[in-house]
Structure 1
């Protein structure tokens, strides 16, 4: 339990930030899920379109420290590779 005034304030800030980050994480995961679903269906056009919105979501999440920068880059790379395989 927080005892000092600054610790109590920090607890409040963390609680507010947690709500915001949870929302951002959900939005990011949803955009990635749409790309993965399009890939699983084999629909390259839909996958490319979904990827155009998912990539900025991932990079924004990385900038805001919701996920690690390398994890975001790795996810973008793997999705792009899977989309490229659909063209073959």
Structure 2
């Protein structure tokens, strides 16, 4: 455990950021699962709306350096391809 006051503060900040990052990643994964379910059930309109939400959340995560921007681009490309194949 850290003894220096600033190191203790940095640990607190790191833990706080870790919780925020984990929450954002989980939210994105949940939306992707909902998107997959909508595609499988044939709800193309719902899938399109979810894709817009996913795009917004992924770009926000990339802006905050939670997910790398190339990772975001790859995920969006794959999800868009899936949507286009179905419709």
Q: TM-score, normalised by structure 1?
A: 0.87
Q: Specify every segment of 5 or more residues in structure 2 that has no aligned partner in the other structure, as ranges.
A: none
Unmatched segments (≥5 aa) in structure 1:
none
- How many pairs does the alignment contain? 87
Give the match for residue 71 of structure 1.
Answer: 71
RMSD: 1.3
Q: What is the aligned partner in structure 1 of residue 40 from structure 2? A: 40
The separation in 2 between residues aligned to 1:51 and 1:32, in whole angstroms, is 8
- Map 1:1-88 to 2 at 5 A: 1-87=1-87
In the TM superposition, structure 1's runs of 4+ consecutive aligned residues that sit over 6 Å from their partners are none
Q: Matched residues in 2 for 1:63 and 1:36: separation?
A: 25
Q: Deviations over 1:29-84 (max 9, x none)?
A: 11121112112223322211111111101111111121111111100010001100
